[in-house]
Amino acid sequence: MTACLLAIVILAACSTQAAQPVPLKSGVEFASADVRSLQQDDFANPGMLWVTRGAKLWLEPAGSDGKACGTCHGDANRSMKGVASRYPRIDSVSTGLINLEGRIQQCRERRQHAPLMAYESDELLALTAYVASQSRGIPVNVEIDGFHRAHFERGRAMYYQRVGQMNLACTNCHDANWSKKLGAETVSQGHGNAYPIYRLEWQAAGSLQRRFRSCLSGVRAEMFPYGAAEYLDLELYLAWRGQGLAIETPGVRR
Amino acid sequence: MYPGNGKLSHVTTDFTCRIRMLVLVAGIAVLSPRADAQSAAVTFRIEAGEIRTPLAADAGDATRGRAAAAARDGGNCQLCHALPDMQAVFAGTLAPPLHGVGARLTEGQLRLRVVDSSVVNRDTIMPAYYRVDGLRQVAAAFREKPILSAQQVEDVVAYLKTLR
């Protein structure tokens, strides 16, 4: 009995996993005051350029049938409200996991019969930012059961896997060391609730997967191509981990 | 990363290691058969929590070591540590400041921490600067290369010794 307790104590002491962040804090809370005020003012937020462009694209006919997104979905302010909070999710047709970008691409392909937009192209970022911005203030709320489960588990494993020449995992920075400084940058809890964001360093908007690539290249790890299954799984895990945070698209970061 | 429990420092005495040849299975240290022709693997020995013998023939140079510690493509130590003679605004706070570390630790202890801090603390976030195996998904440009060369490790250690 005593030995058993002792073993439990030892195991607990040797546990390598840092707890998930409490309380949950959006990335903007770790940004400097000027970056924060850029995000919070729609007239100053450079990400709004992509949102505005997305609003135009929403109404632009594309593909052989000459249909626009708005032809089927009408007023995005109403029809797209809350949608981004449920992604990534399983697509009922293919039973594969898709993120918001993937959902938009599917409509292009299946409904508009229009050519796909390249991942990370301004068009796709604009439409994604426009659709996601309709959910501002709505809490992230993804499913992780059923067909989601295996993706969720793989995403979680990836989050805890040390990689790269610097041998670090997402958890080492975003669970164990958030609020501390890595060089001149304050490490946040690593949530995806404000994406696509406008990043001053990029001088452009970028997707959550672009941010993954920044973190991976920072630890000198191999990157996956945009849209890779690994990134989708990681997006799902990250969304679950940030469940309850309000969507803030378009975020602004340094 | 290590299947064994607890700190390694008690059991890693007197084993001859090449770059990370130490594998711990259930508390027994064994030498892994991995031999790598590409990495100019220098043999080193961990005794009582130290690497006592320098990795390179030339003595470490503190001035070069300071530059190697600061360089973004070198040690980039300020990502996590504050260093007494470098600008504090760029210094991270993920790790303790290195003020006085040259007085706190012996040369052999410093060398071990730069070579592979995970020998001291299994869960450390400090990268192993002189190790190529046991890593996953390393970007092609950095594969099979330690972050610092053997000579750079000696230079950085010489620099750390000046932080008293």
Distance between CA atoms of A240 and A155, rounded to whole angstroms?
10
> Is the predicted pLDDT of residue B9 greater than 60, yes or no?
no
Tell me, rounded to whole angstroms, the distance of Cα A62 from its chain centroid. Answer: 27
* CB B30 within 8 Å of CB B145: no
Domains (range + CATH), chain A: 24-253 (1.10.760.10)
Q: Do A184 and B140 lie within an 8 Å CB cutoff?
A: no
Residue A253 pLDDT: 98
Other Cβ atoms less than 10 A from the Cβ of B56: the count is 14
Residue A161's Cβ-side half-sphere holds a number of Cα atoms within 13 Å equal to 17
**Sign of the torsion angle spanned by Cα atoms B17, B23, B27, B30:** negative
Q: Do A183 and B138 lie within an 8 Å CB cutoff?
A: no
Q: Do A222 and B140 lie within an 8 Å CB cutoff?
A: yes
- DSSP3 helix / strand / coil % (chain A, rounded to 5): 45, 10, 45
Q: In chain B, which residues have their Cβ closer than 8 Å to the Cβ of A217?
A: 139
Q: Which amino acid is at A197?
A: I
Average pLDDT of every residue of chain A: 94
> Is the predicted pLDDT of residue B24 greater than 60, yes or no?
no
> How big is the CA angle at A243 (ends A242 and A247), to the nearest 5 degrees?
80
Nearest to A101 by CA among A114, A89, A93, A113: A89
Question: How far A153 CA lies from chain B's nearest CA (Å)?
Answer: 19
For the residues of A80-139, what is the DSSP string, one character each?
Answer: TTTTGGG-SEE-TTT--EE-HHHHHHHIIIIII--PPPPTT-HHHHHHHHHHHHTTBTPB
The H-or-E segment that residue A9 falls in is: helix A2-14
Name the pLDDT band for B89 (thresholds 50, 70, 90).
confident
The residue-averaged pLDDT of A209-214 equals 98
Please confirm, yes or no, whether A173 is among the known catalytic residues.
Answer: no
Ramachandran class of B67: left when φ > 0, alpha when ψ lies in -120 to 50, beta otherwise: alpha
First to last CA, chain A: 54
Q: In chain A, which residues have their Cβ closer than 8 Å to the Cβ of B91?
A: 181, 183
Say whether the ipTM exceeds 0.85.
yes
Closest chain A CA to residue B82: A183
Whole-model pTM? 0.89
The H-or-E segment that residue B151 falls in is: helix B150-161
Size of interface A-B (CB pairs under 8 A): 73
Closest chain B CA to residue A186: B92
> Is the predicted pLDDT of residue A9 greater than 50, yes or no?
no
Domains (range + CATH), chain B: 31-162 (1.10.760.10)
Distance between CA atoms of A247 and A137, rounded to whole angstroms?
5
Name the pLDDT band for A65 (thresholds 50, 70, 90).
confident
Q: Nearest Cβ partner of B94 from A177, A222, A223? A: A177
> Is the predicted pLDDT of residue A136 greater than 60, yes or no?
yes
SS (H, E, C) A202-217: CCEEECHHHHHHHHHH
Q: Nearest Cβ partner of B79 from A164, A167, A182? A: A182
> Is the predicted pLDDT of residue A163 greater than 70, yes or no?
yes
> Is the predicted pLDDT of residue B13 greater than 50, yes or no?
no
Mutate to test the interface with B, among A165, A170, A178, A187 (most CBs of B within 10 A): A165
Q: At A80, list the tokens.
A: 């797209």
The H-or-E segment that residue B28 falls in is: strand B28-31
Name the pLDDT band for B3 (thresholds 50, 70, 90).
very low
- Contact with chain A for residue B125, Cβ under 8 A: yes
- Contact with chain A for residue B90, Cβ under 8 A: yes
% of chain A at pLDDT higher than 90? 91
| Residues on A contacting B at a C-beta cutoff of 8 Å | 10, 14, 16, 161-168, 172-173, 176-177, 180-184, 187, 217, 220-223
Q: Nearest Cβ partner of B142 from A161, A165, A168? A: A165
